Homo-oligomer: A and B are copies of this chain.
């Protein structure tokens, strides 16, 4: 992993501000909707974040995986639960998911090692 979690977060924050600041209403509403999709409803945020994680894994989006790993950790997802989410993503998405799984494991170690 060439980018630390702090660098990831800093770049993410800076560019989100740049995107939202550009003033395109469709984009800004999409960002609001993206936030809304994970708010608790019939399903809790914890389950929704797990859905977001497995979707990110099978679509092979490293930054999306990192984001949902962090959010899942905040929601109290356990190590065993992470492995089972990973196992579903791996079986659904196949061996091309493996490089993303390696980076997900490295990120998870990084997330777990933070105070």
Residue ranges of A at the interface with B (Cβ–Cβ < 8 Å): 1-3, 11-12, 15-16, 18-19, 22-27, 29-31, 33-34, 36-38, 41-43, 47-48, 50-52, 54-64, 78-81, 83-99, 101-103, 105-106, 109
- Counting every copy of the chain, the complex holds 6
Give the residues in chain B near A41, CB-CB below 8 Å.
80, 84
Bound state CA distance, A57 and B45, in angstroms?
19
Interface SS majority for chain A: helix
18 residue pairs from A and B, CB less than 8 Å apart: A16-B102, A24-B84, A24-B87, A26-B84, A26-B87, A30-B87, A31-B98, A33-B91, A38-B88, A42-B80, A42-B81, A51-B54, A52-B88, A55-B88, A55-B92, A59-B92, A64-B95, A94-B95
